């Protein structure tokens, strides 16, 4: 049963409306399913849209944000609960704790870094839950091709390509979590190549 998820996404205010619509709809769907959402606690862009979607359906959204971002005024005061961390590293660790899945919406360097880190944790057996990439407007196509290339060049095993699932619409996220293949309990046995 899915109780809590973490959503990685952008705070850019200049992205296309379709990205924001998908973030908002994902928030609605998570709230309607009674799933608590953790996110980076931004108030604009996809982060803001996600939070608005969750709150529009009376859901629970927990913002995790480092103190320096609070000091800059980048936090979201409308969240259900806000956790303020001392560093970015602590923020990412806190976001990944006690969750049933990690979801990546489109985003910039920070979002991609979070996504690749949680994939790395899964490869090393530190995280064994589903990872869902919401590939709105083919946003992640280049990254997914790059991951295929990583395998082709023997920097990762072909089995590692099953560490995540890719969907194209917010409506597909919860079913993708529910049907995600179990990750191997002996992940470290194949971590090295």
Q: Work out the mean pLDDT of the chain and round it to a whole number.
A: 96
State residue 43 phi and psi, 5-degree precision: -110, -5
> In terms of pTM, does the model score above 0.85?
yes
- The DSSP code sequence of the chain is ---EEEEE----TTS-HHHHHHHHHHHHHHHHTT-EEEE--BSSHHHHHHHHHHHHTT--EEEEEEHHHHHTT-B-TTSSEEEEESSHHHHHHHHHTT-SEEEE-S-SHHHHHHHHHHHHHHHTTS--S-EEEE-GGGTTHHHHHHHHHHHHTTSS-GGGGGG-EEESSGGGHHHHHHHPPPPPTTGGGGT--
The residue extents of the domains of the chain are 4-190
Residue 187 has what pLDDT? 86
For domain 4-190, which architecture applies? 3-Layer(aba) Sandwich (3.40)
Q: How confident is the model at residue 189 (pLDDT cuts 50, 70, 90)?
A: confident
Residue 190 has what pLDDT? 87
Residue 72 has what pLDDT? 95
| End-to-end C-alpha distance for the chain, whole angstroms | 33
pLDDT digits (tens, 9 = 90+) for 48-105: 999 999 999 999 999 999 999 999 999 999 999 999 999 999 999 999 999 999 999 9
Residue 171 has what pLDDT? 98
Mean pLDDT of 7-27: 97
């Amino acid at each position: 049963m899915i109780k809590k998820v973490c959503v990685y996404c952008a705070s850019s205010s200049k992205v296309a409306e379709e990205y924001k619509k998908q973030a908002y709809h994902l928030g609605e769907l998570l709230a309607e399913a009674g799933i608590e959402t953790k996110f980076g606690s931004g108030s604009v862009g996809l982060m803001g849209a996600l939070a608005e979607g969750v709150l529009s359906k009376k859901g629970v959204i927990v913002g995790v944000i480092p103190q320096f971002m609070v000091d800059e005024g980048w936090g979201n005061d409308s969240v259900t609960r806000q956790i303020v961390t001392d560093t970015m590293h602590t923020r990412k660790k806190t976001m990944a704790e006690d969750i049933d899945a990690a979801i990546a919406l489109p985003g910039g360097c920070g979002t991609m870094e979070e996504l690749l880190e949680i994939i790395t944790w899964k490869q090393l057996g530190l995280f064994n839950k589903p990872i869902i990439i919401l590939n709105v407007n083919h946003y992640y196509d280049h990254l997914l091709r790059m991951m295929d290339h990583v395998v082709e060049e023997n920097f990762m095993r072909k089995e590692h390509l099953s560490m995540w699932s890719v969907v194209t619409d917010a409506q597909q996220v919860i079913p993708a979590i529910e049907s995600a293949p179990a990750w191997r309990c002996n992940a470290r046995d194949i971590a090295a190549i």
